Amino acid sequence: MQGLVIGLVGAEGDGIRATGQSLIGALAREGYFGLLSTRNGARPIGGESSCRLRAATTAVLNPGGAPDLVLVHNWDAYRSLAGELPIAAGTVVIHEERAGNPPATGPFWEVKPAAAVPAPFEELAEKSSGVQDAKVEIVLGMLSVWLGLSAKRVSGGIASRFPGLGAAALKGKQRAFSLGATYAENNPLPRDLKLDPLAAPAGDRRVADGNEMCARAALFSGCKFFSGHPITPATEAMLYLQREIGSYGGSFLEAEDATAGAAAALGASYAGIKSMTATSGPGFSLQTEVLGLASVAELPLVCLNVQRGGPATGMPTRQEQADLFAAAFSSHGDTVRPILAPTNAADSFDVTVEAFNIAEHYQTPVVVLSDQEIAQTKAIIEPIDPDRFDVVDRLEPTRAELKDYVRFEASESGISPISHPGVKGGNYLAAGFEHDERGTPTLNGEIHARMNRKRLSKLDPLKGRRDLFVSEGDPDAQIGLISWGNVAGIALEAARTALSQGIKVKILVPRLLYPVADEVYADFFKSLRRCVVVEQSHQGQLHKILRMWMSVPREFTSVSKSASNRISPLEIVQLIRAMEQPANDSFKSHYCDLLNVL
């Protein structure tokens, strides 16, 4: 097979996470591509959990559709996480023998799987080492055979996973792996799910998630200060920087709340240091006053907002794209702050470097709008070539300019040289209060209008950044998709599938969400009679923002789902097919049925 989706579900002690991570590590070593998303039930530690691993011989754009293989350790765990791994007619289910037979009908699956076969995970684990915690190795042994992976590479990960483990215990684990492999050899799957061998040897790929890639990009960009408050699902970005930033000559502050996190980062930026904060929805709501201050004081600041289901506490461990309105509009007064959205883990690196560059060049806060799916999904990533990137620093005043320094001096670009405490002659007042070019506080309406114009129009060149958009498909197509964030990977795959089936369609993926790059969209809209924005929120927030700023095609529609409801590439292919039909009432009802929304 060129690719497949594997699901693992179990309760505490079944080693679901460990199994998934070992497997994706082995796939990376082998040279395959893959994505691993992990879900917990309500309990933060322990309790039920699931893994969805999509593996393929070519780049994987999204977590995929219905699983080909699901390993169930525990039926209650599956019941609680069934939405993650919906069974389809082709799915093979392997379940713990001791858990008994799966129910024939009911809440477990609406569609009958291709097969539901028992396997003695627990019994083999006991046999191998006398304890159940060898289940991970038993399952890895089975999967290495069933998927056709190198036993050496898969089992090779065991020793590195337990660096402190004694020789005897390690031997027990290796024995478990062999027992699992032997079992699989004697019990082939009812469907062949072996991955195709790779045509060419892979480069030095590694497994990382979006949070790690944002953090790495920050260090790469010269970020020397991070402050933030832990919050799901952004915490890993903070933890990575906490661990690493000192080695790069930077400092870290675990702030008492998200506001303080943004405020301290803004303080560091005022002191002339590239800085960043990271948060998720509830923290982002708190930070908006700091972002407003950064806009008026014209100070660079990168704010990573890893979206989760909202509003308020919402659904902390589930993905959603419903913070776009908040990112664009949530501070009082006239502000425009650039918003960038990565589409996957590797892209998180590029987008974050871009965010730092834009923040520093334009002296503005920039929001990186990641989401739980991108941030916490482990992905197999190609090596990053550092020479691909320029790193931009803020414009500093010259010696001549420091003789009579005017901090907010009018310039054609709207960008004025910025000094920082410690620079002799560069002394100025940064203020939330409106001010003139010298930073002098004012209540004068003319000055306010002039400074508003400076602060807003300096960002106009961003709208011409075509490099921040991905466009694919038939340029003359009459139907088109727009999609962003993690959903873009789903839409992109669907568009490619539709194109390969001879359907004339095109797709636009903005990584710059705000300000709205009107010319880029206008060009895209030219040939379109029908356009759908595919995203994940109840309101379809990008769709609404585009309607606010753009003349849109006659049939310009939103297809959007609330948090935690996966959209599969197949659903979007069906949507594209429906879009191809002549205009009639059934179009709307057709895709509404498809996605069960609106």
Partner 1 sequence: MISTDSEHRGGAKSGHCPARAYRGELKPTWCAGCGDFGVMTALFRAVGAVGRPAHEIAFVSGIGCSGQIPGYSAAYGFNSLQGRALPIAQGIKIARPELLVLVVGGDGDGASIGGGYLPHAIRRNPDLTYLVVDSGGNGKTDGQFAATDPSARGGELQRGALEALENPILFALTYGANFVAQGLTADLDGLSKMIEDGIRYPGFAFINVKSPCLGCGDLEMQVLLQKAKMRKLSSMGHDSSDLERAIKIAREDGDSLHAGVFYRNPNPPATFGSKVKELKQRPAKAAAEAVG
Contact set with partner 1 (CB under 8 A): 206, 208, 216-222, 224-225, 227, 244, 246-249, 251-253, 255-257, 259-261, 263-273, 275, 289-290, 293, 297, 349, 383-386, 391, 420-433, 440-441
Spatial distance between the Cα atoms of 230 and 223, rounded to a whole number of angstroms: 19
Closest approach of partner 1 to the CB of residue 272, in Å: 7
- Ranges of H-type helices in 458-540: 485-500, 518-525
Spatial distance between the Cα atoms of 310 and 369, rounded to a whole number of angstroms: 14
Spatial distance between the Cα atoms of 508 and 468, rounded to a whole number of angstroms: 11
Q: What is the DSSP letter of 467?
A: G
Question: Nearer Cβ to partner 1, position 244 or 437?
Answer: 244
Contact 82, 564 (CB under 8 A): no
Spatial distance between the Cα atoms of 474 and 543, rounded to a whole number of angstroms: 22
Question: Nearer Cβ to partner 1, position 136 or 353?
Answer: 353
Pairing status of strand 115-119 against strand 555-560: unpaired
Structure tokens at 1: 């097979």
Q: What is the DSSP letter of 548?
A: H
Question: Nearer Cβ to partner 1, position 47 or 246?
Answer: 246
Closest approach of partner 1 to the CB of residue 445, in Å: 18
Closest approach of partner 1 to the CB of residue 292, in Å: 8
Structure tokens at 67: 């699983």
Helix (H, G, I), strand (E, B) or coil at 537: coil
Closest approach of partner 1 to the CB of residue 49, in Å: 27
Residue entry with tokens 């010259």: 398
Closest approach of partner 1 to the CB of residue 222, in Å: 6
Print burial letters for 396-406: b (CB count within 10 Å at least 16), e (below 16): ebeeebbeebe
Closest approach of partner 1 to the CB of residue 354, in Å: 15
Helix (H, G, I), strand (E, B) or coil at 342: coil
Spatial distance between the Cα atoms of 18 and 311, rounded to a whole number of angstroms: 32
Q: Is 572 left (phi over 0), alpha (psi -120 to 50) or beta?
A: alpha
Closest approach of partner 1 to the CB of residue 57, in Å: 23
Question: Nearer Cβ to partner 1, position 266 or 546?
Answer: 266
Closest approach of partner 1 to the CB of residue 242, in Å: 10
Question: Nearer Cβ to partner 1, position 170 or 429?
Answer: 429
Question: Nearer Cβ to partner 1, position 169 or 447?
Answer: 447
Helix (H, G, I), strand (E, B) or coil at 559: strand
Closest approach of partner 1 to the CB of residue 387, in Å: 9
Distances 419 to 130, 213, 270, 425, 431 between C-alpha atoms, Å:
67, 30, 9, 9, 14
Spatial distance between the Cα atoms of 253 and 595, rounded to a whole number of angstroms: 43
- Give residues with Cβ within 8 angstroms of 419, minimum separation 6: 272, 396, 397, 402, 405, 407, 425, 426, 427, 428
Closest approach of partner 1 to the CB of residue 270, in Å: 6
Residue entry with tokens 């002394």: 427
Closest approach of partner 1 to the CB of residue 323, in Å: 22
Question: Nearer Cβ to partner 1, position 268 or 520?
Answer: 268
Spatial distance between the Cα atoms of 216 and 413, rounded to a whole number of angstroms: 31
Question: Nearer Cβ to partner 1, position 246 or 311?
Answer: 246
Question: Nearer Cβ to partner 1, position 46 or 441?
Answer: 441
Spatial distance between the Cα atoms of 577 and 460, rounded to a whole number of angstroms: 37
Question: Nearer Cβ to partner 1, position 121 or 225?
Answer: 225
- Give residues with Cβ within 8 angstroms of 168, minimum separation 6: none
Give the H or E element holding residue 90. none
Closest approach of partner 1 to the CB of residue 216, in Å: 5
Helix (H, G, I), strand (E, B) or coil at 271: coil
Closest approach of partner 1 to the CB of residue 520, in Å: 29
Question: Nearer Cβ to partner 1, position 162 or 248?
Answer: 248
Question: Nearer Cβ to partner 1, position 151 or 423?
Answer: 423
Question: Nearer Cβ to partner 1, position 156 or 222?
Answer: 222
